[in-house]
Each structure stands twice: as C-alpha cells, then as structure tokens.
Amino acid sequence: MKRNTRQREAILSTLYGSGRSLSPVEIRAEASVYVPGLSLPTVYRQIKGLVEEQAVSQVDLPGQSPRYEAPCDAHATVAGHHHHHFHCDVCERVYPIHACPGSMATLAPKGFRVERHDVTLHGRCASCAARA
Amino acid sequence: MKRNTRQREAILSTLYGSGRSLSPVEIRAEASVYVPGLSLPTVYRQIKGLVEEQAVSQVDLPGQSPRYEAPCDAHATVAGHHHHHFHCDVCERVYPIHACPGSMATLAPKGFRVERHDVTLHGRCASCAARA
DNA sequence: GTGGATGCAAACTCTTTGCACCTTG
DNA sequence: CAAGGTGCAAAGAGTTTGCATCCAC
C-alpha cells in the first residue's frame, strides 16, 4: 500500500478534510465524489494499510463498528495524541474531544493494573442541540 | 420470553453466578453444563428478552461485540446502576468498576450537550497482574 | 514491463429468522 | 391443549479474500 493511486488520495483527503471520524461507508460516500465507482473492499484495504503506517487512526466506540480519523494536527504529535470522542445521539456523528479527565488508575479494584482508558461522551452535538 | 424453561434458567443462573460480563459464546459454554446441546440462537433470543425486561444488562465495550451481565446487587438498584468496566488485555475478561470519575460535561466543546458517558479501563486484572 | 492496487464476486463471521417439533402452564 | 420456546438450517449484515485486470512507477 505505497502507490499513490487515485483511490488512495481520495480516501486520504477525505479523512484529512473531515474534522471527525468516519465509517468505511462514510469514507466511500465522500471519496466517491473524487473517484466514482470506488469500491468498499478498496476502502477497507486502504484504511487497513493506512492504520498500519499510522497515517490514520482507528476509533472504536462502544456498540459501534470502527471509524477512522486523521491524526489530530492541532497538537502535532506524529502518532496522534491521547484524546476522546463525542457521539451525537441525533446525527450519529463522532467528534474529537481534546480533553481528558486524567488518570483513572484509582478507580480499579486492588491488584488491577490500569494501563489505558477510553472515554466516550454521548448527547447532542452543537448543531443538533441548537436545532432542538 | 416468560416461561421458565431449562434453557432460560441455565442462562440466568450463569449470568447471575458470574461476577463479570459474558459474551453469548461464553454464556453458551457455561450454561451448556446445565443444558447440554443448548443452541446459540436460543442464547441470543433469551438475552434479547432478558435485556428488554431489564433482568440483564448489555455491556458495549469499544471494539468488542456486546457482552451481558446481571445487574449489580451491591447497590441494589432495580434497573442496575451507573458503573463502568475493566477489560483485561491478557485474559480478555471484563470486570465491573463500581466507581466513576464523575460528570464530564465540561470536556465537550461549547454548545455540545453531554447526556451520558462511557468509561472503559484496560490493563491487567488482579490475577493476570500477579502472574506476570 | 512488472508488481502492487482495483473491482467484482465469493467466502467468512456473527447474529437473526423460518419452521417443524417439543414443552410449559 | 394451546401458546410459547427450542434446535436446526438458512438468511442477513458487515468485512475480508481470491483472482483477473489495470495502472503507477
């Protein structure tokens, strides 16, 4: 997965252009504007390669299939930086949260070694909240 | 889904007997001890009904298929109470965390309305940490 | 020109559904 | 005895793979 095909470029620019996390189907829909006929298997193969080379990161939210996002450039860490996500219950979109409640090691029972945490917020995003 | 069949009893006692969240396959494996030949479709149908009547709650962790657990009786709230989960990276088991970092409404951007949050801790459970 | 990438179709996994038979109340 | 539950097999949904063709280098 190193060649600059039209498909790869379309997928990459879709991910880097969007400020949020996209599902494979969303990626296909957006990238199809640049490459009509783009196939879903190609999207899956490209994102798999892109995740491996850390050009894109995978976002797993509870109860949802994986989404993908461009590493945040606001903090310019090469391999992306620690952040969380907000899932809008209305439009189903996923937005990055550049804040963190901090270590949660003390929440676990004695003897448990906490090495990582995931936080997902749910509710209404700004535009869906304004609409209500 | 109201009749007390052997299958239903086996599934319920498996969930109530285990102190953690189980996947449908795990439920089937455990409950098969009481009902040999228990089928996976029956497990899926029973848990669906049990979740609807709130006798069991569904646990969605990031990147994982759903698990199911008996509502925690330590706090004795009928419909279960707010809690989180710990996922062991070694044995893949999921344990309840009866603590919560508190509201995270301030983490979201302006205009976002936060109504709920999920927290998942990852690392090593007590027995896997002791073994290392 | 050659090897990697693409698109199609088929395979796979997980979950759900149709249906004949069995069991609970 | 009737309504509901079970097991089997097959159908769906989402993702991955095989393969012939195409295209970037």
pTM over 0.75: yes
CA-nearest residue of chain A to B85?
A108
A40 touches strand D (CB under 7 A): yes
Q: Do B114 and A86 touch (CB under 8 A)?
A: yes
Nucleotide nearest to B8 (CA to C1'): D5
Q: Is residue A1 part of a domain?
A: no
Q: Is residue B1 part of a domain?
A: no
* A49 within a domain of the structure (yes/no): yes
Structural domain contains residue B17: yes
Asked if B120 and A84 come within 8 Å (Cβ–Cβ), the reply is: no
Q: What is the pLDDT of residue A76?
A: 47
**Do residue B62 and residue B12 come from a single domain?**
yes
- Does the C-beta of A90 come within 7 A of strand D? no
Distances in Å between the Cα of A58 and the Cα atoms of A79, A111, B34, B62 are: 12, 30, 40, 11
Whether the pLDDT of residue B76 is over 50: the answer is no
Pick the range with the lowest mean pLDDT from A10-19, A104-113, B67-76, B80-89: B67-76
| Strands A84-88 and A113-124, sheet pairing | parallel
In a domain, B121, yes or no: yes
Residues A88 and A109 grouped into a single domain: yes
Q: What is the mean pLDDT of chain A?
A: 92
Q: Which domain holds residue A17?
A: 6-69
Last residue of a domain, one of B69, B98, B117: B69
Q: Alpha-carbon distance B81 to B56, whole Å?
A: 12
In chain A, the N- to C-terminal Cα span, in Å, equals 44
Residue A112: per-residue pLDDT: 97
Return the closest nucleotide (C1') to the Cα of A8: C5
Total of domains in chain A: 2
Residue A91 and residue A57 share a domain: no
Contact positions of strand C to protein Cβ (< 7 A):
4-10, 14-18, 23-25
The chain B residue lying nearest A89, using CA atoms, is B115
* A116 contacts B122? CB cut-off 8 A: yes
Q: What's the pLDDT score for residue A103?
A: 87
- The verdict on B61 and B34 lying in the same domain is yes
Structure tokens given for A38: 């783009």
Residues, chain A: 132
pLDDT at position B100 over 70: yes
My answer on whether B56 and B84 are in the same domain is no
**In this structure, are A14 and A52 located in the same domain?**
yes
- Among chain A residues, CA nearest to B97: A108
Which pLDDT band holds residue A77 (cuts at 50, 70, 90)? very low
Q: Tell me, what's the pLDDT at B73?
A: 58
- Report yes or no: B23 at the A interface, CB cutoff 8 Å: no
> For residue B28, what is the domain's CATH number?
1.10.10.10
Domain identity same for B22 and B63: yes
Closest CA of chain A from B125, distance in Å: 5
Token duo for residue A81:
């930086």
pLDDT at B79: 53
CA dist B114 → A38, A132, B107, B128 (Å): 36, 14, 9, 35
What CATH number is given to the structural domain containing A90? 3.30.1490.190
Three-state secondary structure of chain A: CCCCCHHHHHHHHHHHHCCCEECHHHHHHHHCCCCCCCCHHHHHHHHHHHHHCCCCEEECCECCCCEEECCCCCCCCCCCCCCEEEEECCCCCEEEECCCCCCCHHHCCCCCEEEEEEEEEEEECHHHHHHC
